[in-house]
Every structure is written in structure tokens, then in C-alpha cells.
Amino acid sequence: MTTETKDADARLDRLNANLARVEELSKRLTSALTHRRNADPSLQGPSQEVYLKAAAAYVAEMMQNPSKILEHQIGYWGKSLKHYVEAQHTLVRGELKAPADPGPTDKRFANPLWETHPFFNYLKQQYLLNSEAITGAVSALDRMDPADKKRAEYFSRQIVDLFSPTNFLGTNPDALEKAVETDGESLVRGLENLVRDIEANNGDLLVTLADRDAFHVGSNIATTPGAVVYRNKMLELIQYTPTTPTVHATPIVIFPPWINKFYILDLKPANSLIKWIVDQGFTLFVVSWVNPDASFRDVGMDDYVQDGYLAAIEEIKRITGEKQVNAVGYCIAGTTLSLTLAYLQKKADKSIKSATFFTTLTDFSDQGEVGVFLDDDFVDGIERQVAVDGVLDKFFMGRTFSFLRSNELIYQPAIKSYMMGEAPPAFDLLYWNGDGTNLPARMAVEYLRGLCQGDQFATQGFTVLGEKVSISDVKVPVCAIACETDHIAAWKSSFTGIRKMGAKDKTFILSESGHIAGIVNPPTKNKYGHYINAGPLTTPDTWKAEAEFHKGSWWPRWREWLAPRSGRQVPARVPGDSTHPVLAPAP
């Protein structure tokens, strides 16, 4: 028997073994799918009304301005036919290659075969031409309501992205090459990854973005030394161990969003905002919110204010002996901090000396990209679902935020995991992203109906603990950091809310990058810069046009703003006191 024959037999044996594993995995897949939760249909996609309105607008445009529609169609037909003729002409000459491809670079099509192979290049160019035609047709619907048009544009783009040839095994050269090289092993590993994800999500599919076994909270992430010094039904309060002999007298408390875990601000030591704040000589407290279950169904926004914000502030005042704190709120926790500030103003309570907002919306008149999920079709579905479950499950929120960046957070990871059979990367940020939390039913509905949809805090007022409060009631000095490419809290909307606050002392900083990377931006990386403008907060565009750009992180600039508002130097404080014994090490 020749060596080649032995190699062929060995490869055939591997292929047969892989096929046997496919049969076993298929049984697991079938079993996992039977456990799929009963979710409200409205949570699976927008109502058909989105597409009906788009179709009606298209027909109206066709009737009233047929030349515009014909011009668009003929342009598409011409480009598609031209490319077909060019491809055929190359093949007629006996050249097995693709015609010239002057199109823009798209990282989905990085494999050289998309440029050189006639089949793959034809697929790619025709897909891009169709994509351009569809998105162009929707964007040209001038007779649609702007809000409806925005949703039609977003969801039509989702459909276009879904049908990219890279998302299908038979038309993805990377996946096909890997399958041949590994005798089908990559496809088996991919199926294993798929089954694992469906089993982990109770019959639903949510692609794993990071290696779940690579990180352990308190071991190789969230390692800044500190201790839990207080807890109640809503939170644990962490006080961090000082690293300087003296600290500013006024303590800082950070309220992170309760949609995810607090340790986004304490990943690796080099990226940790928590460690950096402690090293600057501040006494730092951070709230770690409870992950609610169905027993929290009646917990509302008032509970977060009363048993969250106000309780934490009172305990910090007792521990430190100070009458005031400097408060920080991130995302939804910043929104709720603004409600708390307005409530304290009504009560003439000066417990908060200054407030800092990270990527915070307080005016929801322009909801940004996430607004496409805040229409009644989705919110009605959420309201029905939480009435059954008692919570808004983290699965639905995680999936929604992933669809805001579907190519980066759904399709590309799915290709690598399910088609290429690759293991998820050991990436701390993506690990945190997958470590989500639930929202109490009542709180979720109050937030979505009253703030996101009703915009009550910026208009007629929002009721907090029996007091009607408004954005103009926020009077303390404020510093807001927004992020230029934030897809969750659009910076212009954040700017508008800060501008409407009643504070006389307002500072606005615009960081480069997005919702997370723009905040977790340590000075040592020198990665993303920021804009500042000491002038009045007029309009977002005017403010930015007149702003100064500075390279590097905004963290040192924030320290310069915060230090004069943080009092004298006092001896460093160890966690807890005689009435607040250490309950557990952080985190």
C-alpha cells in the first residue's frame, strides 16, 4: 500500500468519524431546541406595519414621481448587467479570473478569493449592487414620517446584512477552505459550538463572544483591592482600599448601570478606571447591583432611588463622616442619578456635591440608534413578557444590543464559531458583555414608558417618591462625558439633556469611540482623544465645531475638574468602620 493510499484512507476515516459526531450533535441540537422559551412574538422582530408603511410610501412615490423610481431601477439594472457582461467577457477570453473590482473595501470580504475567483467575486459584486439598490430605495422614500423611515432603513439594512454571502457555508470561501483542510473537523466543532450556545440559552440562539472559562471575577478581572461594607436587597456597596497616604475628604460613589455588571470599570488593572481613581487619592465606593429574579417583579424606579441611591449615599456619609459625596452615574444609572438629584433638590437635601454622567440620556426626544427598538410594537411585547416572567430577561437585552452592531456582534462571531469551528477569544470586554443581568418587570416598564417613550423628565415631569421632578431641577455642578460613536446613548442627545439641566456649572466632554471604549480609555494607552469647549452649550454641532481636540484620555481632565470639588486632604480611609464591618472581599 502506497503512502498516498494510506493518507487517503486516514482522511476517509477522519471524515467518517466526523460524520458520526454530526449525527450525535444533531440529536443534542434537536433536544436543545425543544426547550426554547415561550417568548412574545413581538420580541422577535418589528411589526409588519414597518414594512407596510415602507411599501405604501414606495407605491405613492411611484405614482407621484415615476421618473425617480425608474431612474433608480434603471441605474440598478445597468450596474448589474454591466458587471455580468464584464464577467462573461473575461471567461469568453478563456481567463479564469474575475473582472476588475473597483468597489469599496469591506472587511467581510477579506479573503483574496473574493477579488480573484470568478464565482466568489460575482457573488460579492452582485450582493453589493443589490444592497446598494435596496438601501438606496428606502432612503429615497421622502414621503415617510421620519421616525417610520428611520425604522424602515434600519430593519431593511438588517435584512441586507443577513443575506450577505459570507453568512452561508456554500458561499463563504474561508469556511469552505477550512472544512477541506480539516476533513470536516471545523464543521463538527462549529456544530458543537452552535449546540453549546443553544443549550446555554434555553433553546434560543445567542452567539458566545468570549471564552467563558478564560476569566474569573476577582481572580484575573475585577481585582482592585476593596471590601463589601454594606448590603441591602438592592445592592452591595464596595469601598476600595486606598493606595495613597492621604485622600480628598469628599468621597466618590459610582453607580454603574444595572443592565450589566459593575466590573466594566475594573477589567485588567491597566484598563481599570476604579484602580486609577483610587491611585489619584480619592476614597471610592462602587455599587454592585443585585441581579433580580421574578421575586423583584414589583420593584420600580422608586426602589432604585430609595434603596439604591439614597441608601448608598447615607451609608457612605456615615462611614466617612462627610456630609456630601461626589456621585457618578453610567448610562441608565446616570439617568437615574439625574432623577435622584432632582428629587434631592426638591427636598433641599445637599448630600450630593457634584455629579458626573458617563454616556447618559436625560432627554429622550432623540433616542438615537436604539430608538428603533423603542416603538410600541417592541415595548408592548416587553410589557406582556415581563408580566409573565417578572423580569426583562438579560437574553432579550443582550440580543437587542447585539443587533445594533449585527455584523460585528452577531454575523462575524457566528461565522468564526459555527462555520470555522473556532473557539471564542479570551477577551475581557466581550466576557463582561456576555455577563448580563435582568431588569425587574415594573422598573423596565416605568423606564421604557415614562422616560424613553414619554420623555417625561425633560417635558411634563417624572414622579419620584411622590415628587414630580424635571430636568431643570438638577442644580449641582455637573460634568458629562459622552462618546462620539455611541450607538446606545447618542452624544448629541446626551448633550441636549445636559444643556437643559438647571445647573449653572456645566462641563461637557466628548470622547472619541463608543459606549464602552470611549469610557474605558486609560491615559497609558493614548488611544482615543477628546473634545472640550468652555463656551456655552448651544447646539451639539456648533459646540463641536468650536471645540478643541486633545489627544489622549479624558480621565486626567476629569480629575482636574473633580479635585477642586473634593475638599481638603485627610488621612486615607480603610474600608468600613466600627458600625460597618467588612462583609466580604471585593468583588
Show the CA angle centred on residue 484, arms to residues 566 and 471, nearest 5°.
55
Is residue 465 within 8 Å of residue 302, measured between CB atoms? yes
The neighbouring-strand residues paired with 329 are 255, 357
| Residue 62 per-residue DSSP state | H
Which residues in 354-393 are b (16+ Cβ under 10 Å) and which e? bbbbbbbbbbbeebbebbbbbbebbbebbbebbeebbbbb
Pairing of strands 284-289, 252-255: parallel
State how far the alpha carbon of 381 is from the alpha carbons of 5, 201, 445, 501, in Å: 60, 20, 11, 33
Give Cβ neighbours of residue 227 (< 8 Å, ≥ 6 apart): 238, 239, 241, 575, 576, 582, 583, 584, 585, 586
* Dihedral Cα 494, 495, 497, 503, nearest 10 deg: 130
Tell me how far the alpha carbon of residue 529 is from its chain's centroid.
21
Is residue 164 within 8 Å of residue 108, measured between CB atoms? yes
* CA 423 – CA 469 distance, rounded (Å): 50
In 3D space, the residue among 269, 199, 279 whose CA is nearest the CA of residue 243 turns out to be 279
Cell of 311: 441608601
One-letter amino acid of 574: V
* CA 357 – CA 501 distance, rounded (Å): 12
Q: Active site includes 331?
A: yes
Tell me how far the alpha carbon of residue 582 is from its chain's centroid.
34
Give the containing element (helix H, strand E) for 179: helix 173-181
User: Which phi and psi angles does 239 have, rounded to 5°?
Assistant: -110, 130
Give Cβ neighbours of residue 155 (< 8 Å, ≥ 6 apart): 45, 46, 50, 51, 372
Strands (DSSP E) contained in 305-458 are 325-330, 352-358, 391-392, 439-440
Out of 331, 452, 479, 483, pick the active-site residue.
331
Question: Catalytic amino acids?
Answer: 331
